[in-house]
Amino acid sequence: MTGKPARSSSKRGHHNVYVVFLRNPKGDGKAGYYVGMTGLTPEKRLANHLAGIKAARVVRRYGVRLVPTLYEHLNPMPYEKAVRMEVELAASLRKRGFQVFGGH
């Protein structure tokens, strides 16, 4: 034992990216996704969106559920990586032809 405190949690970070399934957000019968990042758990962040707390309008109106298969393998991460990953995840979904909101 070296006497140094464990730092794995600080290197790993506590930020998360998340994806919300949106039902018919453009009124054209097609589903969409909202991509975001948060210091909260994805579940708590979605609850806040749906409750109108720092909510994206599209999620509050059309948000149905989280899609953990698209993000849970990525989380958690440091803030800087989460900022980049949000953009990359949104771009990846757009490239595959999905309607994507958020992902700044």
Residue 11's pLDDT band (cuts 50, 70, 90): low
Question: What is the spatial distance between Cα 100 and Cα 72, in angstroms, rounded to a whole number?
Answer: 18
The answer to whether residue 2 scores a pLDDT higher than 80 is: no
Task: Give the pLDDT mean for 3-18.
Answer: 68
* Residue-number span of the structural domain to which 49 is assigned: 16-102
| 6: confidence class by pLDDT, cuts 50, 70, 90 | very low
Strand order in the sheet with 32-38: 63-66, 16-22, 32-38, 99-102
- Asked whether residue 2 is assigned to any structural domain, the reply reads no
* pLDDT for position 60: 97
Residue 11 covered by a domain? no
Q: Is residue 4 part of a domain?
A: no
pLDDT digits (tens, 9 = 90+) for 13-65: 899 999 999 999 999 999 999 999 999 999 999 999 999 999 999 999 999 99
The pLDDT of 71-84, averaged and rounded, is 97
The answer to whether position 84 is within a domain reads yes
In a domain, 8, yes or no: no
Q: How many domains does the chain have?
A: 1
